[in-house]
């Protein structure tokens, strides 16, 4: 197992994410506790010492099952992370109640790592309103009391949201968890996000390294290109090798849902094999090919001054591309939920004034109509 230095700790470069644990009969709320125990025991045996769970994973049962699975192991042998569930605004006034319950569910008296969960457009104002909700102050108090050893945040929000959060709390954040992989390097502007976070000297934790499984299987021509460069590597391993090439990354979390996935990922992390310049160019070219349907918006903003509804067209097109590539998901709906109704895609009147000044000749009105249809399902 590869280990990475974080302050005075040695963390396994591969962490076990507990969002996609094995389940019974495909019911996400029914975790297969026996299978999970077997995986945790094997992970510990193989040197994984970082375990990541959260309040809402598996309908609230992930913390319970992980607490039970880890309690048979010495507390000093593993690092446990969980998060304050600010993805639900109803939780904002309940930070003390939730934190105490999390300790109980996980059967521990402190968390090694604790995060503001999913900093995004929907909740940034509430997260920053410490006078009203006191989330930041409470978590800092728990850190002072030793019940949180290291405080950080995870983010699915855009660059500007992360920037606001860092401007407010950056000096107190010790790590940042981002959705990061070679597709999102461009699609979600992760390169810029990593640079922003790194400017605060904050190391990166990675979630969704395989993009929810999308990078586990590629088009045949793409897989052939990778095989020509490294015949011994699996397609999944390339996603991890990309991350091993980024010096800012400390821990990569993998939501391993079965024993075979775990064994394969542990084998990958038995050695560090970062990509060469040629290999990196190949991987990013494959990502570009996967994003061939992405609209070529350059955010020149010529369109916005011609929109009678005052829509932030570049931002909406970016969310549209994300939503289309993912085939749904929560990122675009969450971001849009923070907008007034008259600034959402369905506010487009189809006048095409924007299209007359678009240097890329994007059919913006058609994109807005399709986006609206996709959101309605």
Closest by CA position to 184, among listed 325, 330, 11: 325
Rounded distance, CA 95 to CA 318, Å? Answer: 33
241 within some domain: yes
291 within some domain: no
Domain boundary among 284, 316, 348: 284
By residue range, what is the domain housing residue 337?
304-376
296 within some domain: no
65 within some domain: yes
Q: How many domains would you assign to the chain?
A: 2
Q: Label residues 133-147 b or e (16+ Cβ within 10 Å = b).
A: bbbbebbbebbeeeb
293 within some domain: no
At residue 63, the pLDDT reads 97
Q: Are 202 and 144 part of one and the same domain?
A: yes
Range of lowest pLDDT (128-142, 164-178, 248-262): 248-262
183 within some domain: yes
Q: pLDDT category, 187, cuts 50, 70, 90?
A: confident
Count Cβ atoms within 10 A of the Cβ of residue 377 and give its class: 0-12 exposed, 13-18 middle, 19 or more buried: exposed
pLDDT digits (tens, 9 = 90+) for 90-108: 999 999 999 999 999 999 9
Domain boundary among 284, 317, 350: 284
At residue 52, does pLDDT exceed 90? yes
At residue 324, does pLDDT exceed 80? yes
Q: Are 104 and 20 part of one and the same domain?
A: yes
Q: Are 118 and 175 part of one and the same domain?
A: yes
For residues 121 and 87, the answer to whether their CB atoms sit within 8 Å is no
Sign of the alpha-carbon dihedral angle for 333, 169, 131, 99: positive
At residue 205, the pLDDT reads 98
Q: Are 228 and 132 part of one and the same domain?
A: yes
Q: Are 47 and 130 part of one and the same domain?
A: yes
Q: Are 95 and 243 part of one and the same domain?
A: yes
Closest by CA position to 107, among listed 158, 71, 55, 82: 71
Q: Are 245 and 108 part of one and the same domain?
A: yes
What number is the average pLDDT over the span 134-140? 98
pLDDT digits (tens, 9 = 90+) for 256-302: 888 999 999 999 999 999 999 999 999 999 999 988 778 878 788 88
């Amino acid at each position: 197992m590869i280990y990475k230095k974080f302050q005075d700790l040695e963390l396994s470069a591969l962490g076990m994410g507990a969002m996609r644990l094995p389940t019974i009969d495909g019911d996400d709320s029914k975790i297969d506790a026996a299978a999970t125990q077997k995986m945790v025991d094997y992970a510990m045996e193989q040197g994984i010492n970082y375990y990541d769970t959260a309040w809402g994973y598996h309908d609230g049962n992930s913390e319970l099952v992980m607490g039970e699975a880890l309690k048979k192991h010495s507390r000093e042998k593993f690092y446990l992370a969980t998060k304050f569930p600010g993805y639900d605004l109803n939780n904002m006034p309940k930070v003390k109640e939730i934190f105490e319950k999390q300790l109980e569910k996980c059967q521990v008296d402190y968390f090694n790592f604790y995060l503001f969960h999913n900093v995004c457009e929907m909740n940034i104002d509430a997260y920053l309103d410490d006078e009203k909700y006191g989330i930041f102050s409470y978590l800092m108090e728990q850190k002072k009391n030793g019940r949180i050893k290291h405080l950080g945040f995870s983010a699915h929000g855009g660059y500007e949201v992360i920037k606001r959060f860092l401007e407010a709390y950056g000096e107190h954040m010790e790590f940042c968890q981002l959705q990061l992989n070679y597709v999102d390097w461009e699609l979600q502007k992760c390169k810029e996000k990593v640079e922003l976070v790194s400017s605060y000297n904050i190391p990166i934790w990675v979630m969704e390294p395989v993009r929810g499984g999308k990078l586990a299987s590629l088009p045949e021509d793409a897989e052939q290109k990778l095989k020509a460069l490294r015949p011994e590597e699996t397609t999944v391993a390339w996603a991890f090798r990309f991350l091993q090439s980024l010096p800012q990354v400390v821990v990569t979390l993998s939501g391993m849902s079965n024993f075979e996935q775990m064994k394969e990922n542990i084998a990958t992390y038995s050695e560090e094999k970062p990509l060469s310049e040629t290999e990196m160019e190949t991987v990013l070219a494959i990502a570009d090919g996967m994003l061939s349907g992405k609209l070529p918006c350059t955010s020149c903003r010529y369109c916005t001054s011609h929109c009678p509804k005052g829509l932030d067209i570049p931002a909406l097109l970016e969310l549209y591309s994300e939503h289309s590539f993912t085939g749904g998901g929560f990122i675009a709906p969450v971001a849009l939920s923070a907008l007034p109704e008259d600034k959402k895609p369905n506010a487009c009147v189809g006048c095409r004034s924007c299209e007359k000044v678009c240097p890329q000749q994007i059919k913006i009105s058609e994109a807005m109509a399709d986006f609206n249809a996709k959101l309605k399902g």
